[in-house]
Structure 1
């Protein structure tokens, strides 16, 4: 029977395609933080791979099938225009979000993460399909995949190491299969008959050798000592001093590569894209700045307000080299310079006063800016890196000089800064009219709105969340009447626009008033939001509507500041580094496989003793791995049933020791995530300190702590609902720990070492 590569079962090819693509798609899913487990990611990868195969193998049939499936669905749904419009609008914003992400001006929004992951996985399926099905050149796969695995391993993504091992096993099976096909073709040409059933044996052999070689390479002891080549090292460091900074910091160092575009929505300061809700401050140091004065440092500029959130307006992006001059729109002002060093921060955003004119850096590179003068460095800025910003600060002029009345709504560059949501309540416009009554110039109106907000509304970090269906500004003005900077800045920007005054919403940092050791120390609780209004003839002027802060007074380049502080948090990924591995013995395996099946050996030609020794040597690794695997499975089974028995006993017993036992396990999981309780810290103090970092809609740590304290210091027995609530919180934190550690490390710690869940006092 002729067995060619074309006649191999198609299922085998598809399975290989699915598993190889999954080795990378699984890593991307973890990095993007999509809410899918590994099995779900595998299923979606399989569906995408099958879809790609059908589309590329039978394009005409696939397109016809999709067409004749879509049309009846539209007909049956009575062709709902609203639904189609929603889909098209979503598609448009998704494409814009992805384009902005690759331009380095915006992060992928949370609602787009899964679709973005599907898109890049689909692209990988297409590339891998062509390699496997068309070119049949297996050597291309390591060239495509291995650099990616090494890169992610190098930046401390632990799962990349395990996925690389899986890839090598699959690759050995693939090349073993292809080697057999070549030998089979050669035997047919030479009219040599191969025994039936040898192909499955060949696959088994390739699989066995692949597993043995890869697993041996993975578990063999590895040292961290390197071979010193002093001359080469000195030459590299002398030419590229930045090499010494590589892999210096697990969270904010350049090696980790986790820089982000600055945004409140990506921090603990603002849990979601929607505005409002209570916040918890952090005083972690992130920047040190050498400057003559404290300034407002702009990080993000937004001009579109709708659905209780601010969004960026799509705008043209300009590319500049470091040290190149930025075109001015401020003519009269004072030139200042700030030396900014990142202490515990990694960001693409360059923080500058308005208006920046030049950026200097020790590292070469390029940066981008738009018409709002948002600056982003293409290669990012990381811990212990410094840049210098030169800016021109507008000089103050007399209030009477702001007397130019302009109608911007007729068109022009400023019309987008007058945008207002269609559902905006007329009560807001009416209030703005009342506040600005008797004021004739735009500047007087802006001052009146600012002073009204500062005088009639109070500052708090714990306002109520905006109720569902309520408009944010309306709720703040007429019901809540208290809030922090985003409340005041958003409200002033909206009220200015009702009066025909262009405005934009700014997020960034407000430098503290005092220096320490000659430097301004900027911390997370210095995060702030404010307003810029366009007033003729000066242009954009900064306004501070938040009552807890003294407003900026621009006088000969100085900005006077004072007052409370707010914060912005940066996510801290896992700091665990993977173990270094090495692949050995692949060449020997391939040489040993040459000619397999094409030669018949006679038993009489082999020494019986040597044959016995060879068999024992061949079986030894298999026996070792089988025993090791059995031991691991027995240990994991024991831990699984121990935990199951523990949970069952908790639900049946509900004694006073049940809830404290669960609470101790919760503390253990939080400590494993890098959030241990401090010595002398009460449970309530601990909860308030970490709640923003482990927040879950259904699992409130405050309620969990209240239940624990009541059980500890009262004679009440635990209720079934309370035990269930505690257990659900524990399982929720376990899932977060699994993402934090990675699947393999989490599984090893939980099921092999038995460290995550312990049956305390039960």
Structure 2
């Protein structure tokens, strides 16, 4: 079998591993066999393009003209714009799959196959192809495509076989070489599979911090200290990765019209904690009939209904933001779905200008009445909100038990934990959580500072430690006192800087209650719903907060407005209080633009660098065997390189032509000091002789060194 075809087959397999990984990341409908068939088809098409460039140019040009005609005389141009916009958002994780997945997948398969053929087969730039492949797998894995790791192993295995065949000194591939190559691959893959997976990584703190500061998008990638979530780029859907410095912007997220002073607009509710992130244990969505949602509170719970109008800001989502607990939602059409956590979502993604209205029941959480709910028996339906990771350090549980010691009711225990956490320093500029540490444990015992995701996570975990069901909630906090850009019709803006995380705790016989453990915000005024006028924070009045002291932070429970280091806000009594310290308002961070734009910029820069490297490598590479060769093998390898160079200059051997016939035909066209016909005779003597003569070996070497820098015209 010719070496060229073997390399083609291996390159096709390498392209297939990348395409299959990309297919899984894109949620493509194609099966493995279909992806393999498409990859081979696109590889053959690439070979045709490179062999017959003018024919291909005419063919592609006709296709472009037909495509342009269809768009000039129809409505497909709109679809093209929609497809491009959707593709960018979908790859960025901001859109759900639809019919555009098929053309996007085909474009990705074609581009990857063409690049692999050009680099690995046509130009023999294997290391560039290998680097690009590994880069794609790395980006996918950091983007939570778990199968990318497995496909990368197969890609590396195929790369080893490629190297073995490519550096084989003869034109015809020996089956023994292939056998050794596959054996080497099996050994490497087996070793990788059985390597320990919990190896402590080497820490490069200064370099890591510089990269995070320079390229903030890496903070949202898996494996980069496992950081992502609402503290960085506003509200995010999906699993909430925890830890690291906050990077937020001031872009408008929502517009709100209401008479309430404060709203906790919930968008994501999570029940499963694994020490690194919050996620949902399962999603069970049901249609909301006529917009009505059954009330989940007990019949004896008193409260009032409030109505809120929402207008979507300039971003795309299916989430309908409401407060606990929505009872009615009105939209301009389309189905509404709800899950067990009373999250709401629309039937399709909505964007700027979409309006909806919801009515929510707001319970009057009276502290004295809450003490009547003393039961600690948790219904089976609520036990999933007690889940804790097996690896949670015991000292977290011990601390929760110590804080709540002496308090008899679940509500008092919850307030005690909330009060304790509010003494920690509020600070956006925090280091990332070490990879081997539990997020809550690290925050409570070593870091002792953070922002909303730290406090909400710690409170939810500690509530579960003492047997109180709790869930982690993300969304936005709306405060009427905030000055924001207004929209027509009385709407007020809620920016990405208002993205927030808090806790909902469940009390048997009553229902779910909000808690605010983050000291940057006022504690919730139990006893008067969404009204700060004249109310006293329950925890302060009853000694919960004064019962704890913290050496590094004494909280002033104020809602902060940025004032260059000192944040001043009137409290409930009308007095001014100042919050001093190193923490900053979430809106004080510089707006660095949308995450996908930064990601595209980084990938573009990386691809540009790879192109520059490829050009350099192609023009200046010095091909040498990987392993040392004896004089005969080296002489034969050098002659093959001479033939390859002559072929690239237009001097190709005809089918059935011998080396001597080829030399007789082209010698007169080669202007060099050594006659190519003499070199051909030397090659035959070396190839078929038992022991090569030194003079022949030296002639082949001299001609190789002489000709590799020359260009001839056929």
Structure with bigger helix share is 1
TM-score with structure 1 setting the length: 0.46
Q: Which has the larger radius of gyration?
A: 2
